[in-house]
Every structure is written in C-alpha cells, then in structure tokens.
Structure 1
C-alpha cells in the first residue's frame, strides 16, 4: 500500500511540474524570465515562469550562474536613494502608511523573486541546491554575500521549527532515505548495509532526523544515539561489530555519538540545538530511567592547536610528544582539556567548532578520553582523543546564557582539574 501511495505521489508531482512548465516556444533567457516573474505577467503565470527559470538555471555553467547571481545582486538590490528620504519621513511621522512604504523599499527585490521562484512542486529543494552553488561561487565573488544574506533570511523563515518534522529512522525506513543517511553521515563513516543495520536495528540504538514537508525524502539533520549503562569513553566500543546489544530497559545513559547536517545549502541555519532538545524529550518519555544525556564527540581542532604549541615553554614538550604519539594517556587528556577550556578565537569563543556548538546549546564538558577513536580521521584531527559533553537539563539554560553573554565554558570539576595537571611526557627524540 505504501509503495502504491509513493508511486502516486511521484507521478502527481511530475504531472504538476510538467503542467507548470513554460511553453517550448518561449525562448526568453533566464534574465528576461526573472523580470517577467516580477511583473504583472508573474501574477498570472507565476508557476510556469518560476519552473522555466529553475530549469534554465540547472542548464547554466558556473560562469552563467555567477552572472545570474550578479543580476540578483545588482538589478534587484535595495534602491538606497529612494530609501533614504522615506526613512527620514518615517522618523518625522511614523504613520502606518509610511511604515508600509518604508518596509517595501527596505526589502531587496531579490527576496520577492526568490519567494516567487518557490512556487512549483520541488522548488524549495532546488532553491536549497541553488544556495549550495552560491556559497561555492561567493568564495571568488565576495560581493555576492549580499544575495546570500537574503537567501539565509528566507530559508530561516521557510525552515523554522514550526515546519520541521521529527522522524525516527529505523530498519523499516524506506531504502531511499536509508541511502541518504549513509551518504550524509559526516562524523563516523557508515561502511556498508551491515554497518548501518548495527546502528539502527538493535534495541539499544536510535536514530532521529528532521524533515521538511517540502522535502519529504531529504533529511535536514540527523543524530545517532546509543543507549548504554555507563558514559562511554570510546567510539570504537560503541560501534564495535562484536558488542552485545543491551536491553533498552537497562540503559541509564543516552549517548549522542554522531550529528550530521545533510544540506549544504542550509549552512548557517541551525537545527542541531532543536534536534537534540527534542530527541532528549522523546527518549526521556520512552525511557524514564535515563539519568544522563551525553555526547561522545570528536575534537577536530586539537592536532592543529598542538602544532601551534610546540615552541611554547608551557606546552612545548608535551605538545610534541602528543604529536609524535609518545605522550601518556593522561597527558593527552590534559592537553585536550587545556585546548577546550582556553583556546579561543578573537571573538572570545572556543576555537573548536564542536565545542562551540555544544557549549552554545548549554552543555558542559564532562570528560575527555585518550585512544577513543582509532579511525584515520580520529587520529588525524585529535590523535584519537574524544570528549563527552553533558546535557544536564536543569543547567542547560543557565550554561547557554553564560556562554552567550560571557563566553563562559562550562566544565566538570574533573575536566577543570585535568587542565591544571602537571605533565610527564617528553617527545621521542628527547626521551632516547
């Protein structure tokens, strides 16, 4: 029954899109079509014009796409000369009529174009893909950041929490979605279907994803969860194909061991905080005996930071030892603690991107583990070290406020003590 319904949905979508297509005799280029969509013609034939523009866009080369985005950037920009006197008039007499005129003038016309482009079936996904192109092309065309700002403005409203749907991903999820979970996994590679089954099928494993009604077969972000008796200190043990599954009713800890964003075109539009909070609520309802919600997270900037410390008096010897693999486990943990607690950017926030994410969500640094990830990527980014971030629901709001307002890094007494530990390691060349 589900297959027939799915086939009906696909055929319906294809039929709707075909009906919304331009007349084959319409040879106007993409620029002319955009101006037509913004005119009275767009009020009458908006779906067909939008479908034609999206089809034309897909056929463009990178050079043509740059020209398209430059047209949005310049031809459909704010009219600053018209805006200035309106702002002055509104400052003198803040009437409703002037407010409406000011609001219309202050919005770049490209925002309305993007809204009108989002009419045909499947258009939302195509606009997300279009922003993926824009992000890539903006690297060499920085003036296009204005247009990207408008994409973000609209995508944030289209993908706000009210439209997101949380779904559990399990072994019965349609294969077309499971294929995408495998492809989008960004933290711990899924090697094959057996590996995927080990992450979804056992009673002590869960996976949840956010979807959007306009992109029902495209996960936006997903989190993989292990239910365990204790807080784990190694991803190797969590993902081992030789482990014995735990009966879920005996679990005391929910471990978020992988969070993957799926859509590059939605970069800068955060779903992770919402996802973790909702999954915590779902798990707490299903398993009321759970008393810890933690992550088992990579420390992606650690090796780079260690490389910057080798000439320093405070960390030089132990940093070199950590880099050449001769540091003790305790020294590796201590260096990771110092990195997470004290390595800051110019804006006062942690250098480590995963730390910024979890600390910004109100978590605290709970514990650090050496030799926790033996994969090539784990060794390359952190020398195998990993960290637990604890989500204590009674403290997350306060931690979030302290981090947002003061850049305060919440950490357990254990981690704070680790950062103050004296070192014993020396690099190999000095130990021989």
Structure 2
C-alpha cells in the first residue's frame, strides 16, 4: 500500500470515528432516550477523538443538531403577518420561541444533570475554545449554547466563596498549591507561607464540584503599591500597622471551559467587598501581574522582523532608545551599522542571554525602552476580536481595571521564568474605588454568591 492509499484509509477511519461520535450525541439527545445507558458510550467516543476529529464533530453538531427551516417557516410567516395588538400575537410568539429552542441546548442540559456531566461539559468547552482559536469554521453557535447553560449553572445559588486558611483541609490547600500556574510552588510549605494575616487566599466553588476550586485568588495586604514580586514571595509576616492596599498577585482559573463567564470578575469583586469590610483602612486594590507572551510571542518576533500581526513594527523598536543607548547596544553586540535591522539583531542577541539582567549598564539602557514597549503591548496591541492581545490585560481591562505606563515595573520578576516570560517586567492593574459598585451593577447575581468558611480576623 502506497502513502496515498494509507492517507485515504486513515482519513476514512477518522471520518468513521467522527460519525460514530456524532450519532452518540444524537442518540443521547433524542427524546425519551435511556440516558444512563447511552452517556458512558458518548464519553468514550468523544474521548477517543483526536483534535482534528473533534473539530469535525463540532461542525457536525452545528449542522445536524439544529432547528430545520421547514419546521419554523409556516409559524414565522404567521408571526410576520400578525399585528402586535392581535390577540394571537403572544401565543404565536411563545410557540415560535419553543420551536427555535436549540436541540443542542436540550442535549447539553441532559448531560449536565448526570453524575460527571458537568465535568464533561467543561472539558468539552475547553476543547472547543482551544480549537476555535485556529479554526476556519464558525463554531460560535455551538459555544453559545454551552455558554447559555453554563451561565445558569454558575450563577446564583450554585457558586460560593470560601477562604483558604491554615485551618482549611489539607486537600484544599494542596489543590490550590498544585493549581497555581502563575507562581508555582515546589512544596506545601510554600503554600503555607502564602496564608496568614497579611497573605490571603480565596476560592470560588460550585456545588456540583465541591472539592475543586473553579477559580482562586491570592492576596497580599501591604502598605502602598507593591512593584516587585520578591516583596510578596518573602512570605506572610506580622500585619503592618499601616496596611492600606490589597494586591492580587495570583489569579488562576482551573477550568478552561469557564473562560469568559465573568467568574474571575465575581471573585475579585467579592474579595474586594470582604477585605474592605474586614479592614476599613484598606482603600486601594491593584494587581501585580505577569505579562505572559511579551518576550516569546511579541518582542522577540518583532526583533526577528515578524511584525505582520502587530501595530508596532520592527523598524519602530529602535525609536524607543536614546542615541547613547543605541550606540551601547550596538557596541555590546559587536554590530557596526546602525540601521534598524542591525539594531534589532543586536538587541535580540542581548535579550536572549539572561545575564543582561545582572549588568547595571545594560539595565539602565533597557529600563525606559522596555517599559514603553511593554505598555504599548498591553494597551494598544489587539487580537482579531479587537481585544487586548495579552490575555491577562484582556482579563483585567475587560473587568474595568486600568493600566498606565507608570505602573509597568521593570525587572519586577528577575527569575529565569520571569525573564523568559516578559524580560522580568510585571504590571499593576488598578481597580478604582468605585469599581465595586460598577461590578455590582454589571453582575446582577453578584450579591447572592454565598460566603463560607470566612474566619473573622481583627483588623
């Protein structure tokens, strides 16, 4: 068998797996189907699919599990012909709503009610979001149905806030320790250092997933704005007499399938509310946030002339440097010509070697240009959906926080991880004093999030 025949055979097997998985979804969604018997098979079919096959399944679910035009045509015509003051208007409209109700939504609702069903839907949407980023297909109709259901399941009455303290169950503390991807910990003792009077941790839980946090936040209570992560990682100490600021330094969403549902905003809002009520001296709320992708997916590509997806162009980088700074960069890299191409090559050579962060002369030359470039990245670079290109910026700015150039912090995280991630730069996003009232207005169920396990503390 030649390679072409092997390709065809492989493609045929792949298409068969997609069709079998699609039929499993259709069977589960059918009215009066024996759900308990069929659901395990559905999960098995889905989990056996490779990523391209899942994309094919998503396409099939959109095309085949949908309201048929012929089913609503007569009713739509009757509705359009009816005047709004006609006594039949309300009943026709109600009938129309029932007819256009998505069969996919019915399917997902059935799945959500079964043991393990919610976990399956979260993983399913996580896959969908991952594939949608690079797919040429319009997968939004499928995502809209899942989001509609998840928004109901993760709003009032289903989620609650809990503080993680040194008195919390070991399993809770261990889960938080293992899920912190912002500032990973090597031992449970490190997690213990992040819990105390001036180091706090809060998590949102769902009633159907009581042992696994949905999203959690780590908070440092400080005097003034903290601009260097080492000041926080030093561990909890005795409470300072003049604490006036809460710094959110690690926010982790443990469920990719919940992206975009506003749970992070809810968590921040409830924590702001609690901390402010606990200690009236705390008036300021801000983050100390990483800038993931700044080096590997932005500045390095710019220096390598890969600027087609950015508003800042490769030839612009040199303009951020003073005449003296340009000369020093060229000299240190052994370049003689001072054209943008040669300058970028010289800067790339320097920043690719982490030793620059230990040299005072280079740090002084790079400080202002890197701060300005990082600010441009956070404030001005957009993705195809016109959202901030940086995901952390998108989250906080989307929540209503603000960013300014003066809150871009040079070498705030000079660890090897920090240098590889963002040349060591971190950012303070500021949540204003009136932000909480705005959050309450935008999240109608905000005040109904139950608060559990919050231990009273003396301010």
Is residue 2:226 matched to residue 1:232?
A: yes
Output one character per residue of 1:208-264: Cα deviation in whole Å (capped at 9) or x when no partner.
111111111121111100111221111122112xx5713166422110001111101
TM-score, normalised relative to structure 2: 0.70
In structure 2, the gaps of 5 or more residues are 1-19, 303-312, 330-342, 357-361, 442-459
Q: Report the equivalent of 2:282.
A: 290
TM-score, normalised relative to structure 1: 0.74
Output one character per residue of 1:323-373: Cα deviation in whole Å (capped at 9) or x when no partner.
634334344334333444444456655433322222222222252211100
Q: Report the equivalent of 2:419.
A: 379
**Superposition pairs of residues 306-385 of structure 1, within 5 angstroms:** 306-307=299-300, 308=302, 309-312=313-316, 314-315=319-320, 317=326, 320=344, 321=347, 324=351, 325=356, 326=362, 327-345=365-383, 349-365=387-403, 367-385=407-425
SS, match of residue 41 in structure 1: coil
Q: Report the equivalent of 2:91.
A: 97
Is residue 2:141 matched to residue 1:146?
A: yes
Is residue 2:216 matched to residue 1:212?
A: no
**Superposition pairs of residues 72-111 of structure 1, within 5 angstroms:** 72-93=61-82, 95-111=89-105
Compared CA separation, residues 234 and 171, structure 1 to 2 (3 A): same
Question: What CA distance in whole angstroms lies between the structure 2 residues aligned with 1:151 and 1:53?
Answer: 20
Q: How many residues align?
A: 367
Using CA pairs under 8 Å that are at least 6 residues apart, name the structure with larger relative contact order, 1 or 2: 2
**8 Å contact kept, 1:231–1:255:** yes
RMSD between aligned residues: 3.3
SS, match of residue 333 in structure 1: helix
Question: What CA distance in whole angstroms lies between the structure 2 residues aligned with 1:370 and 1:115?
Answer: 48
Compared CA separation, residues 170 and 216, structure 1 to 2 (3 A): same
**Superposition pairs of residues 25-104 of structure 1, within 5 angstroms:** 34-35=25-26, 37-42=28-33, 45-46=34-35, 48-49=36-37, 51-53=39-41, 55-57=43-45, 60-62=48-50, 69=58, 71-93=60-82, 95-104=89-98
Q: Report the equivalent of 1:390.
A: 430
Q: Report the equivalent of 2:181.
A: 186
Compared CA separation, residues 114 and 372, structure 1 to 2 (3 A): same
Q: Report the equivalent of 1:222.
A: 216
In structure 1, the gaps of 5 or more residues are 1-28, 402-432
Compared CA separation, residues 353 and 104, structure 1 to 2 (3 A): same
**Superposition pairs of residues 121-160 of structure 1, within 5 angstroms:** 121-136=115-130, 142=137, 144-160=139-155
Question: What CA distance in whole angstroms lies between the structure 2 residues aligned with 1:33 and 1:330?
Answer: 58
246, 251, 258: which one pairs with 1:254?
246
What is the Cα deviation at residue 126 of structure 1?
A: 2.2
Q: Report the equivalent of 1:169.
A: 164
Q: Report the equivalent of 2:338.
A: none
What is the Cα deviation at residue 280 of structure 1?
A: 0.3
Output one character per residue of 1:33-83: Cα deviation in whole Å (capped at 9) or x when no partner.
6555444534xx55x246445554466443876675455333311213333
270, 284, 287: which one pairs with 1:278?
270
171, 191, 195: which one pairs with 2:190?
195
Question: What CA distance in whole angstroms lies between the structure 1 residues aligned with 2:53 and 2:386?
Answer: 40
SS, match of residue 113 in structure 1: helix
